[in-house]
Structure 1
């Protein structure tokens, strides 16, 4: 009893102590339940998206802290909600404002919309807000300083649709270190109050339609800035000299504004500066360098005026010196290359540079690109350049260089392209054997002497016109240059006969041997070269008759004038296209009906008539007159019979004419019956497309075909007729597994039908973008709204890219003559049941009259976003327009964007270039469904390849053979192990050339092309 009297008060005291703890625990559990409930409300507001599947009501207490994208403090309160690169949609839910302990909100690239989420004001301790790359709109609130108060350090609202002026209240967010409002629709002027944010390290305001203004003087207070993006901000006035005091600056972009005045010299003393962009302003004077450059980390310079300072040659981190297409003058720094151990790329074309090429330009041994064309450089080519082991691309044409070219330059082991043409005074001799790797050699309009080389096994283009080469063409010339495609040896002093075996140059499309001293007969083997479409042998001393085999050439230009040829011109060559091809050959003649079409060629009959007596001549004339009367009477009777037949045919329905290109198991009737509206699956500028299930010859149910109806009724439009003729001509003779098969065509006066194999999975455009209708000049696909398709994974995307590239590679490199499609786009890449890609819709295709030479077309054609820039200003196009369009398709495959989805940049190609230059992660630009799939290196490689393919200048784009090679290596990469990088397959020489915008892009396209590059391990003729 006594014990109870003692223990009872103790127990009561313990219970009294435990009660508050129990209450606190209960309160904490309730708070955690409230936090979980808020998250579930947020998830519900977004429509229960799949990425938030882990957010579940069945979870235990405090389990919400382990949900995806969620982080909590020790009390279970949500402190971070970080969701990036997943599709949520809708608006930013108000319930987020209930997470009062939130310190970080990231909804980067989640497709959310609505206005600025002012409910975040409830989160008093928030430090980081990233709502970039979404669809937010409306004006920014005037009281935006309530956001986080003094705690906010990071605010990213870029890449949205915000409008109106930047509120002055931004200046009260005093602890901001990162402010990004770029890529919106903000107006007004840049507020001076931003200059009060003295802790700011990153400021991005570029690409907003601001009113014209000046950079506020208060910005001189922002001395901690490391990154400044103010391009295209409507800024003007004097260049801000206080920039030179910003010692932490690493990236400065003030391009595309209206700044005037000189560049302050102190800008070159910013020790940490790496990237400087000042182009597209009104700056005057020189580059502003008065002495040495202290910016030792500078790796890229892009300016417009003045001279290159000598001290730029002393930058130890300089890798790229890109100054092309400017107004720069003066001499290149004499020390350039000697103190720049990282320098590998010099591109200074199209300026006014004078003086010599620096002698030590390759002393570092890493230089692999030197392009200095279209300047006023003088002096000789330095011998050190010839000993540069990594050199692969040298373009020095259109200068005033002189002297003997170092002999070692012809044998640089990795050299692919050497262009020295149009210098006038360069001299020397070429070795008998050029180094195996060189593929393009241009030395026209100089003073080279000696004999021409007998061997260059990889040479594709050899242009050496207007030099002093002499001697015979080597007998083994054809065998020593088996891959040659272009040969120009005109205006030299070559003598002797043309080798009989020159016809074995089966890939030559251009051959110009004019204005030499060649003798003997024209080799008959020239007529057997299948792709030869320019042959110029004029102004030589060739004799004998014209070989009849030349009539089999498809030459668009044939010139045999000013020789000593005799005999009759073959009838197949006597046409208006060759009217001036035989001038200056008095011994040539032509049959009487053909004489009028050949200038300077007499009638063979007239030559014979000079030897006929007057009496016989009169008899022949009388006989001829009688024959003429008889022929006229016969013609009258034939014409009358034709008119009668036409009247009879008009009374009956005109039958279909069927032209098969493959064995068929159906007739025209079963195809025509299927041309009903319910079978319509697409329409475009040149007709409609139907899905037709036909009945076989036996009456049994057959298969399914796609039928393209080109036109119906009325007068035939000439443009559509050309489109029809082109498509039939191209597809009817193509046999390739990656080109859609044309089975047959049906025609009659008012209608043309093209019958294709049916592609079960429609177009690539449908899989990537899912449009209801895809407009354009070619076929368009209708997609029922009820159809939902799983997104394409990376292995399928790269397989589709390889398949389409194979088809285009076959067209460009295996067909004779080559074919240019001219309307490559994702809606013209069709997928079969196994998602194998096939190129389709050749309504705009053209047989190129000359391989590698532009073909004149009648009008601008193609689809917006896919058209190469040259299509807008010239009617001469070549295969490179297809390379550009295919590059856009690659960018579609990577990003999931459409070809015309470049936001304010207009096209996807321009957007992609800007994105690469911004320094952002390429992985972040990838389509969401492939972004985190473990193929980052492959995705980056294909993204860069797409940018290279869409270079502004056709000459800078790779060939489809090069493109296919890179894509095949990327395909191999994912089939091996994930830790094997694309670089292991030698794609780096092509893909590591960074781009610099617009017409300034350059790259090296010939990086290691294998002999069967376009075949890629399969038979191109299958």
Structure 2
């Protein structure tokens, strides 16, 4: 019954066994970075459901089976870095002109070493420029300074790209054919190194051979583990750099002032360099656990803004800036993205930044000492994402925000916006997929104009002063995944239309004044739901007295306090992943069932 199989990078060897031909239900099949010799089995073409097939970085030989033309659901095919040979008749694999046979296929053939791609009269073989020996050896030395550790990268698609970096590959020693390496077509100089999510673990310093690649234009070292290294000052050796990504890689210490010398940068990402122990935790955890590892002096931030005038994207989230935002940032006219979450910013946010002509994405969330206000927005603004939640922003949300026709993400949670009704004009932002206006003292009824927001996946108005019933039109929000109306004064019943929310994952309705009977079966039928909070209302939860294990929906969080329960619901004994259960304030009598102590609970509120 397997649908997903990944046994990559485990040093398994030998031919692919024919017994795997039985796994006809597979949609994902990965045995990359191993020691597989021999041909690709032709029976693989009989698997009608594969979407993702990865046999890269092995010793496979022979040709690509013609039966692959039957894989009509295939989306991703990785066969690079093997010893495959022969001719691929492209028209036999897919219809180049219409892509009728394999309409979703992302075909990765660029790194075959001996394969010729042929289409009737056309054939070619990828020719790579020859890189200088000193640059090839610099890359090899850089590779050797790290160990490969799967846990060093967080992405589920991570794999060691440097596995293809060898002194000679099939008689071709140019480093320009190595994965993650890009060379100038004319000179052969290395101009790009992309080792994002490459499972690298180890330290890096200014003596690293990487900094000999003085022609580098793009460098991506994101999602690795550089073991709390400081960003080397030798970064100044890359004056032609336009793209630098050092995010999520456990860098620490002071961000070097030398970064401001890279005047050609259009993309800079230093975000999310956090302790690996706290990186996976929700932000609501303690401030110490999420304290940034990197620090950027106020003067260095000013220099960055002053000198990197070509910046289009700037990501500094979780970098400890601890200063005000320089007003000169409003002069970065090319800026499309500015993310400064959790930077310990203070002072007033320069209002002119909102009016940058190309700004599409702005996030300054979780800077509690940062204040500011919204300007009047005009229709030419390209803003798609606007998040200022958990700051000191104040004033009113201007009605002109409805001019932001492209806006998809809007977060003003826990700010200091003026008291009043929930702004009805928000219903004109029909492209919204994320809306959080929690904890702003908005009150009154949930306006019916919000029924227009049918694209919402996240909808939060918790900790406010909402009154009246929960609107039944919410049942039309087919894309909704997260709904939070907790800590309000909502009354009436839970709408029966909620049974239509088949994509719902999290539902928080606790701490209101909801009443009436609610069938737990309605929530059982929502197959994506895993967190449900109904506590501290006046609800009467109706559960089935007899239920079998095979039909039980699995939850991680259940809040059922004050739900008029008279016994421990029998379905609880079949909850294998439940971490928090609240059942206080009910009418349960008698002994606690023995099976309650066999659950996976971390928190039990009785």
**TM-score (structure 1 length as normaliser):** 0.34
CA contact (8 A) 2:410 2:435 kept: yes
Aligned positions of 1:361-380 closer than 5 A: 361-364=474-477, 371-377=484-490, 380=492
In 2, Cα distance between the equivalents of 1:110 and 1:367?
Answer: 35
- Is the aligned partner of 1:534 residue 2:312? no
In 2, Cα distance between the equivalents of 1:406 and 1:513?
Answer: 14
Superposed CA deviations along residues 231-264 of structure 1, whole A, max 9, x for unmatched, are 3333333343223313433332222324566632
Structure 2 counterpart of 1:80: 192
Q: 1:344/1:111 Cα in 2 relative to 1: closer, same or farther (>3 Å)? A: closer
Q: 1:76/1:60 Cα in 2 relative to 1: closer, same or farther (>3 Å)? A: farther
Structure having the higher helix fraction is: 1
Give the C-alpha shift of residue 210 in structure 1.
3.3
CA contact (8 A) 1:192 1:217 kept: no
Give the C-alpha shift of residue 409 in structure 1.
11
Structure 1 counterpart of 2:124: none
In 1, Cα distance between the equivalents of 2:520 and 2:171?
Answer: 75
In 2, Cα distance between the equivalents of 1:115 and 1:96?
Answer: 15
In 2, Cα distance between the equivalents of 1:511 and 1:77?
Answer: 68
Aligned positions of 1:81-160 closer than 5 A: 81-84=193-196, 85-87=198-200, 89-92=202-205, 93-108=207-222, 109=224, 111=226, 116-119=231-234, 121=236, 125-134=240-249, 139=254, 142=257, 144-147=259-262, 151-158=264-271
Q: 1:324/1:332 Cα in 2 relative to 1: closer, same or farther (>3 Å)? A: same
CA contact (8 A) 1:386 1:408 kept: no
CA contact (8 A) 2:267 2:313 kept: no
In 1, Cα distance between the equivalents of 2:130 and 2:569?
Answer: 83
In 2, Cα distance between the equivalents of 1:83 and 1:281?
Answer: 35
> SS in structure 1 opposite 2:411?
strand
Structure 2 counterpart of 1:210: 321
Superposed CA deviations along residues 514-568 of structure 1, whole A, max 9, x for unmatched, are 8xxxxxxxxxxxxxxxxxx833xxxxxxxxxxxxxxxxxxx37xxxxxxxxxxxx
Match of 1:232 among 331, 339, 342: 342
Structure 2 counterpart of 1:891: none
In 2, Cα distance between the equivalents of 1:68 and 1:143?
Answer: 29
> SS in structure 2 opposite 1:79?
strand
In 2, Cα distance between the equivalents of 1:160 and 1:368?
Answer: 28
CA contact (8 A) 1:102 1:125 kept: yes
- Is the aligned partner of 1:880 residue 2:585? no
* Count of matched residue pairs: 417
Structure 1 counterpart of 2:16: none
> SS in structure 1 opposite 2:602?
helix
In 2, Cα distance between the equivalents of 1:453 and 1:120?
Answer: 62
- Is the aligned partner of 1:443 residue 2:547? no
Aligned positions of 1:914-925 closer than 5 A: none
Q: 1:104/1:364 Cα in 2 relative to 1: closer, same or farther (>3 Å)? A: closer
Give the C-alpha shift of residue 299 in structure 1.
3.5
Match of 1:314 among 428, 431, 434: 428
- Is the aligned partner of 1:341 residue 2:119? no
Give the C-alpha shift of residue 192 in structure 1.
3.5
In 2, Cα distance between the equivalents of 1:243 and 1:395?
Answer: 35
In 2, Cα distance between the equivalents of 1:141 and 1:454?
Answer: 62
Structure 1 counterpart of 2:596: 818
**Structure (1 or 2) with the larger CA radius of gyration:** 1
**TM-score (structure 2 length as normaliser):** 0.53
Structure 2 counterpart of 1:693: none
Give the C-alpha shift of residue 229 in structure 1.
1.9
In 1, Cα distance between the equivalents of 2:367 and 2:165?
Answer: 49
- Is the aligned partner of 1:245 residue 2:355? yes
In 1, Cα distance between the equivalents of 2:301 and 2:380?
Answer: 26
Aligned positions of 1:337-416 closer than 5 A: 337=451, 339-343=452-456, 345-358=458-471, 360-364=473-477, 371-377=484-490, 380=492, 385=497, 388=500, 390=502, 396=509, 398-400=511-513, 414=525
* Structure 1 stretches lacking a partner, 5+ long: 1-28, 162-181, 424-441, 445-451, 467-472, 487-509, 515-532, 536-554, 557-814, 822-878, 883-953, 956-1022
CA contact (8 A) 2:253 2:294 kept: no
In 2, Cα distance between the equivalents of 1:302 and 1:264?
Answer: 11
* Structure 2 stretches lacking a partner, 5+ long: 1-128, 150-159, 275-291, 554-559, 574-582
Structure 2 counterpart of 1:793: none
Q: 1:271/1:412 Cα in 2 relative to 1: closer, same or farther (>3 Å)? A: farther
Structure 2 counterpart of 1:930: none
CA contact (8 A) 1:132 1:158 kept: yes
What root-mean-square deviation, in Å, do the aligned CA atoms of Structure 1 and Structure 2 show?
A: 5.2
> SS in structure 2 opposite 1:819?
helix
> SS in structure 1 opposite 2:352?
helix
Q: 1:226/1:330 Cα in 2 relative to 1: closer, same or farther (>3 Å)? A: farther
Superposed CA deviations along residues 920-940 of structure 1, whole A, max 9, x for unmatched, are xxxxxxxxxxxxxxxxxxxxx
> SS in structure 2 opposite 1:80?
strand
Structure 1 counterpart of 2:390: 280
In 1, Cα distance between the equivalents of 2:584 and 2:137?
Answer: 79
